[in-house]
């Protein structure tokens, strides 16, 4: 009789991952707002980059960069408003790009806790890009909406191009980065592998994007939050379908 004990989720690692992400999320929110205000200060539209409105770092509500966009548009400084509104998305894109390059390399892979921190940092920044491009491109007060209003670019172009690029990045992330984290912290533990997958997908598509948009965004724009629900369900369904089809996860070199 085979009495082999089945693996159970590593609750300690899961708790550390949640705490790591929440700490990094707070940092990301602060840096996002300071990127707005610093650019506004650089362009001469704020007296100090420290004039942001502080909010709740956990729920990501109540924050504001303190930039008077309507005043800028009234003065005919639409391009400046577009640059100030869009610059944090450039920052997030740079962090995601550099982060994925590091996570796909061998140097960081050999430093498992450093790998873990950079992984959740990338997830947090990618979450912001998903929220703004997939779900808030048509919101006039969102970062993408301000860019479109200031430049005259159709929000449809922003939505289509941004969504296409994001879909490619997300696919690359799930195919080449997520399995590496699973290999480092749960090589022989499928429950923990699933915990990593579900936590990652929940953060990307629901926590900072889908749920936030459906709860806090007014008008028809809230329905774009449903995209997050669909993306979460589709991602989990794809992994369920492919479960057991691949070779065991490799151990770190």
* pLDDT tens-digit map of 62-91: 788 888 888 899 898 999 999 999 999 999
pTM of the shown model: 0.88
Name the pLDDT band for 240 (thresholds 50, 70, 90): confident
Domain-wise residue ranges, the chain: 11-187
* pLDDT tens-digit map of 2-57: 445 566 667 889 999 999 999 999 999 999 999 999 999 999 888 888 888 888 87
* pLDDT tens-digit map of 121-161: 999 999 999 999 988 888 878 899 999 999 999 999 999 99
Tracing tokens 């990338």 back to the chain, one arrives at 122
Crossing angle of helices 78-104 and 155-172, rounded to 10°: 10
- One DSSP character per residue, 90-119 reads HHHHHHHHHHHHHHHSHHHHTSHHHHHHHH
Tracing tokens 């159970």 back to the chain, one arrives at 8
Give the chain's radius of gyration (CA, Å). Answer: 20
Per DSSP, 8 falls in state -
Q: What is the spatial distance between Cα 53 and Cα 58, in angstroms, rounded to a whole number? A: 15
């Amino acid at each position: 009789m085979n009495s082999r004990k089945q693996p159970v989720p590593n609750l300690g690692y899961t708790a550390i991952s949640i705490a790591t992400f929440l700490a990094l999320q707070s940092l990301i929110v602060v840096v996002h707002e300071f990127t707005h205000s610093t650019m506004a200060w650089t362009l001469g539209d704020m007296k100090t980059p420290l004039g942001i409105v502080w909010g709740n770092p956990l729920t990501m509500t109540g924050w504001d960069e303190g930039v008077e966009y309507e005043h800028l548009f009234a003065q005919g400084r639409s391009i400046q408003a577009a640059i100030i509104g869009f610059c944090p998305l450039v920052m997030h894109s740079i962090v995601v790009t550099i982060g994925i390059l590091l996570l796909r390399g061998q140097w960081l892979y050999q430093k498992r806790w450093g790998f873990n921190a950079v992984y959740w940092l990338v997830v947090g920044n990618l979450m912001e890009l998903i929220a703004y491009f997939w779900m808030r491109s048509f919101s006039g007060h969102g970062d993408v909406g301000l860019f479109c209003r200031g430049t005259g670019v159709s929000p449809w172009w922003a939505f289509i191009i941004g969504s296409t690029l994001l879909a490619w990045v997300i696919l690359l992330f799930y195919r080449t980065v997520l399995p590496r984290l699973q290999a480092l912290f749960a090589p022989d533990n499928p429950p923990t592998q699933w915990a990593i997958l579900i936590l990652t997908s929940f953060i990307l598509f629901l926590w900072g994007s889908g749920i936030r948009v459906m709860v806090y965004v007014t008008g028809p724009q809230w329905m774009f939050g449903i995209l997050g629900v669909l993306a979460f369900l589709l991602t989990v369904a794809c992994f369920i379908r492919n479960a057991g089809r691949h070779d065991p996860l490799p151990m770190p070199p």
